[in-house]
């Protein structure tokens, strides 16, 4: 057993991050102030998008994007089951219907061919997820969206800093959603962002995040005085605070350094496991460059006499905080109550049953990675047929 507990991921907060937050706490604005605008501008510049709109969480950002896309009761949105429930939940919040397409057997991202098979007259948007940080097949998905006049909403909660065919994730889809939860590439505690190249969508997103209230006098029905404002839609309180934005601005300056470390540790895992016939290392498509949010190791169960659960438990006993990403969304009891059934996406189900997420985060050191590798080697070696 290693001496310290290694979680599967965690934040890295340094003194300059703390100083940035303290500066806001000592200032005038704690929320809806200038730091949010500064964070949005810096983030938009980083990903190469004209507009970025900050939210209180990644889930709030997803919900707002689905609403901004005009999704309503009965509208279908095609997405992947290999994600956290928030992705498809956002469709349900709007009264829409999540339609699950299966995943590719190599990248584990959504299968474009299955997406096309599931497009109907009720389909209004495609919602791929950049699983583990590897961009989905954004080129073919963009072509499908254009062909069928659909919106492309990309869930890039895993993929800040990733690129697809030389372009940064966040600059390709109609709307791209990011998360700043502590396990993600940068953190604001909780927080999210939507980037877009469309001014109309950016305006709609801003309306949704702040109660549907408009403060621009040129858009009012009348003007009764300096105190006046109008509510034009039913919006939400999904605003990010200046405290969060200050942490985000500070963290954003480090994101490239963090990604370099993530890639380094992922490469160490790949090199160590590549020749083990009981393990499958993550395949990387030549179309993209992953920013490695997660390292998902797939087991060749037919080569093992022990189960995934036994390997998982043995690693926990070694003080290694492994996890599993993800349970197919439609397996959850709530979705079963909506009529979704097992067997809907066979490849995703096979994937779930054979995967373990290993620790991967920039605050690790090489010794930590080696400790994980050594533990995997010992446990798998004992469990080989």
Instruction: Spell out the per-residue pLDDT of the chain, length 385, in tens.
Output: 888 999 999 999 999 999 999 999 999 999 999 999 999 999 999 999 999 999 999 999 999 999 999 999 999 999 999 999 999 999 999 999 999 999 999 999 999 999 999 999 999 999 999 999 999 999 999 999 999 999 999 999 999 999 999 999 999 999 999 999 999 999 999 999 999 999 999 999 999 999 999 999 999 999 999 999 999 999 999 999 999 999 999 999 999 999 999 999 999 999 999 999 999 999 999 999 999 999 999 999 999 999 999 999 999 999 999 999 999 999 999 999 999 999 999 999 999 999 999 999 999 999 999 999 999 999 999 988 7
Q: What's the confidence (pLDDT) of residue 16?
A: 98
* CATH architecture assigned to 255-383: Alpha-Beta Complex (3.90)
176 exposure class (CB count in 10 Å sphere: 0-12, 13-18, 19+): buried
Q: What's the confidence (pLDDT) of residue 1?
A: 80
Q: What's the confidence (pLDDT) of residue 2?
A: 87
* Alpha-carbon separation of residue 225 from 158, 217, 221, 229, 294 (angstroms): 45, 10, 13, 9, 52
Report how far residue 368's alpha carbon sits from residue 262's, in angstroms, rounded to the nearest whole number.
Answer: 13
Q: What's the confidence (pLDDT) of residue 84?
A: 98
Q: What's the confidence (pLDDT) of residue 384?
A: 87
pTM of the prediction? Answer: 0.97
Instruction: Please determine, looking at this structure, whether the domain spanning 15-252 carries the CATH number 3.40.640.10.
Output: yes
* Alpha-carbon separation of residue 316 from 227, 319, 321, 346, 375 (angstroms): 58, 5, 6, 28, 10
Report residue 113 as tokens. Answer: 């061919």
Domain ranges for the chain: 15-252, 255-383
Q: How many residues does the chain have?
A: 385
Q: What's the confidence (pLDDT) of residue 366?
A: 98
């Amino acid at each position: 057993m290693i001496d310290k507990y290694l979680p599967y991921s965690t934040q890295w907060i340094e003194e300059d991050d703390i100083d940035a937050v303290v500066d806001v706490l000592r200032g005038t604005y704690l929320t809806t102030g200038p730091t949010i605008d500064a964070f949005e501008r810096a983030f938009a510049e980083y990903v190469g998008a004209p507009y970025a709109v900050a939210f209180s969480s990644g889930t709030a950002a997803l919900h707002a994007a689905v609403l901004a896309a005009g999704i309503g009761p009965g509208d279908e949105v095609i997405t992947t089951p290999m994600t956290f429930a928030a992705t498809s939940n956002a469709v349900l919040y709007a009264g829409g219907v999540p339609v699950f397409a299966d995943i590719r057997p190599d990248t584990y991202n959504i299968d474009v061919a299955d997406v096309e098979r599931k497009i109907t007259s009720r389909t209004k948007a495609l919602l791929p997820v950049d699983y583990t940080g590897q961009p989905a097949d954004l080129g073919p998905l963009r072509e499908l969206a254009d062909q069928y006049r659909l919106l492309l909403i990309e869930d890039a909660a895993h993929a800040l800093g990733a690129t697809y065919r030389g372009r940064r994730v966040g600059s390709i889809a109609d709307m791209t959603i990011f998360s700043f939860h502590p396990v993600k590439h940068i953190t604001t505690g909780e927080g999210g962002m939507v980037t877009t190249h469309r001014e109309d969508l950016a305006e709609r997103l801003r309306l949704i995040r702040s109660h549907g209230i408009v403060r621009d006098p040129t858009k009012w029905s009348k003007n009764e005085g300096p105190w006046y404002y109008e509510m034009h839609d039913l919006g939400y309180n999904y605003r990010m605070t200046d405290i969060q934005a200050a942490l985000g601005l500070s963290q954003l300056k480090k994101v490239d350094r963090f990604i370099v470390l993530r890639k380094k540790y992922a490469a160490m895992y790949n090199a160590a496991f590549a020749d083990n016939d009981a393990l499958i290392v993550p395949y990387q498509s030549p179309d993209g460059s992953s920013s490695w949010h997660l390292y998902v190791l797939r087991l060749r169960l037919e080569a093992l006499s022990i189960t995934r659960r036994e390997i998982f438990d043995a690693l926990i006993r070694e003080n290694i905080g492994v996890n599993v990403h993800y349970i197919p969304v439609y397996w959850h009891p709530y979705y079963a109550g909506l009529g979704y059934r097992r067997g809907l996406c066979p490849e995703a189900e096979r994937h779930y049953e054979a995967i373990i997420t290993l620790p991967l985060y920039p605050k690790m050191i090489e010794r930590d990675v080696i400790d994980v590798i050594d533990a995997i080697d010992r446990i798998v070696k004992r469990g080989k047929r």
